[in-house]
Amino acid sequence: MPRLFTGLEIPAEIGQTLSGLRGGLPGARWIDPENYHVTLRFIGDIDGVAANEIASLLVRINRKPFEVALQGLSSFGGKKPRAVVASVVPSRPLIELQAELERLMQRIGLDPEGRKFTPHVTLARLRDASNQDVADYLSVRGYFPTKVFTASRFVLFSSRASTGGGPYVVEDSYALSA
């Protein structure tokens, strides 16, 4: 049973820039640059029939390519930080694509996504990292010049349930070309 999600791939050159921010944070498990992505909709563990239905449903999405801007680092988890992320500027086309994916997934019977959509690229998952360590890391590495790329497609990724941070496999891709 595959674990599926939709997302945007990060171009290799931007991935290399982001990978240069790795290191210097105790308790961080750094994501490999080839696994960087922006999750649009987590789908979860799905049987083959449902996976095929989802893949065929995604073909219907008809949107134009749009620019995606990565700007600065932050952390998720509040007082118990659990991830360091590159923030993605929430543009209208990005929000609308994510909302359409959410509607389609609910239409086929999936529960609504539990969290508000906060576009980001996870760089590290944290285990036992202190607030102070994360604050120190962000004060040193948190700024980088804004990186912009054009999203010309979104993809259906699969991952293994037992691992966080990859490896992710592109199962199918969907052009943005309206």
Give the residue numbers annotated as catalytic, written as ranges: 37, 120
**24 DSSP 8-state letter:** S
Sign of the Cα pseudo-torsion (31, 35, 40, 41, in order): negative
Tokens of 24: 């210097």
Find the helix or strand (DSSP H, E) in which 125 lies: strand 120-126
The residue behind tokens 């750094």 is 30
Burial (CB count within 10 angstroms: exposed 0-12, middle 13-18, buried 19+), residue 43: buried
Q: What are the angstrom distances between the C-alpha of 24 and each of 29, 50, 124, 145? A: 11, 42, 11, 20
| Gap between the Cα atoms of 81 and 6, Å rounded | 25
Torsion of CA 6, 169, 81, 114, to 10 degrees: 30
